[in-house]
């Protein structure tokens, strides 16, 4: 069985994006409502970064709440860089999102890696692991609805979320310690690098837990097209922008990742991060195994609206009906 995930970053880089922010956010919500109406089990992932010159989505829970009002069944997964935030406020906002969505909220908790963000929030990156552990404990205590102590203060968070004991806590990471932390404290893991799945699964086995990981095997970012060469020409400026932006962040943080600096779209194509295929190619090549995730990224770098809609409709009209799917 396979899963479908659709990500939204809502970024509009100057000189690249074909839409302004008003149109971009409206289009994202229109697409999410349309996806929901197709009736397939889908997780919508609301990405997050802070202080970006391209307006990268800084308030994912807010947009997830807006999406809750136009959907009935898709899962709404908001990314949160936990060390930057008061976990009590994250607990409150997520509980309200869970109520608004009738129990469809999820969090993807991240440790953060962009230096400018650490500086912006005045947080020492050396405290990342400790803040993650403290924050996750606070979230779980908060969602019981009972009084608890946080940093020496008496706290109580109401209302409680609908999902019990709490909305699913996914955790992301790009290091073995992050993978093991996800096994100990999370409900699922989204590895930044495919090889981290083994670290996660081994720790789950040691703890007697069943591993649940997104993108153990995935399509990376899939664009279904009638004419892949033409689609590549349309995708090129947006993929190049995104590739180089992420690659710069990775380099500054001194960590590996799937993105590589490039001025050549041919080199970007060769990485396999972006896959442009016909429906026939997808159906012939996709490994229909457990944990296979189809990853869609329809509004990459604020791309042209017609282009975005065409690729997403191609997937949901031609690919999704043939799949055995689950959340």
The percentage of the chain sitting over the pLDDT mark of 90, rounded to a whole number, equals 81
288 in any annotated domain: yes
Q: Judge whether 67 and 29 are in contact, CB under 8 Å.
A: yes
Q: Count of domains in the chain?
A: 1
86-130 confidence digits (pLDDT tens): 999 999 999 999 999 999 999 999 999 999 999 999 999 999 999
Q: Which domain holds residue 9?
A: 2-167+216-224+275-322
Q: Which residues of 109-135 are buried (b: 16+ CB within 10 A; e: fewer)?
A: bbbbbbeebbeeeebebeebeebbebb
209 in any annotated domain: no
CATH number, residue 126: 3.20.20.30
Q: Which residues of 143-168 are buried (b: 16+ CB within 10 A; e: fewer)?
A: beeeebebeeeebebeebbebeebbb
The percentage of the chain sitting over the pLDDT mark of 70, rounded to a whole number, equals 96
Position 179 pLDDT exceeds 60: yes
Contacts of 317 (CB under 8 A, 6+ apart): none
28 in any annotated domain: yes
Tell me what pLDDT residue 215 has: 58
62 in any annotated domain: yes
- H or E element at residue 224: strand 217-224
**Average pLDDT, stretch 137-162?**
98
* Mean pLDDT rounded to a whole number for the chain: 93
36-79 confidence digits (pLDDT tens): 999 999 999 999 999 999 999 999 999 999 999 999 999 999 99
């Amino acid at each position: 069985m396979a899963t479908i995930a659709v990500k939204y970053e809502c970024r509009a880089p100057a000189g690249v994006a074909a839409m302004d922010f008003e149109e971009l956010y409206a289009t994202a919500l229109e697409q999410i409502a349309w996806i929901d109406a197709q009736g397939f089990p889908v997780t919508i992932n609301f990405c997050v970064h802070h202080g970006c010159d391209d307006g990268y989505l800084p308030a994912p829970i807010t947009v997830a709440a807006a999406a809750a009002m136009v959907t009935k069944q898709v899962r709404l997964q908001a990314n949160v860089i936990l060390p930057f935030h008061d976990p009590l406020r994250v607990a409150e906002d997520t509980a309200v999102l869970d109520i608004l969505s009738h129990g469809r909220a999820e969090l993807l908790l991240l440790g953060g890696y962009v230096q400018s963000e650490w500086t912006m929030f005045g947080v020492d990156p050396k405290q990342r692991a400790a803040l993650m552990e403290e924050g996750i404990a606070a979230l779980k205590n908060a969602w019981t609805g009972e009084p608890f102590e946080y940093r020496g203060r008496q706290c109580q968070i109401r209302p409680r979320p609908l999902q019990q004991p709490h909305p699913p806590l996914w955790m992301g990471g790009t290091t073995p310690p992050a993978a093991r932390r996800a096994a100990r404290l999370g409900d699922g893991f989204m590895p930044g690098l495919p090889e981290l799945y083994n670290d996660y699964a081994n720790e789950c086995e040691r703890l007697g837990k069943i591993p649940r990981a997104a993108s153990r095997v995935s399509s990376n970012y899939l664009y279904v097209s009638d004419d892949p060469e033409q689609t590549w020409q349309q995708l090129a400026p947006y993929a190049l922008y995104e590739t180089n932006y992420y690659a710069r962040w990775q380099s500054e943080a001194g960590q590996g990742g799937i993105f590589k600096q490039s001025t050549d779209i041919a080199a970007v194509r060769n990485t396999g991060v972006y896959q442009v295929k016909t429906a026939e190619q997808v159906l012939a090549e996709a490994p229909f195994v457990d944990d296979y995730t189809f990853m869609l990224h329809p509004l990459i770098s604020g791309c042209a609206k017609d282009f975005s809609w065409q690729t997403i409709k191609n997937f949901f009209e031609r690919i999704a009906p043939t799949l055995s799917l689950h959340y």
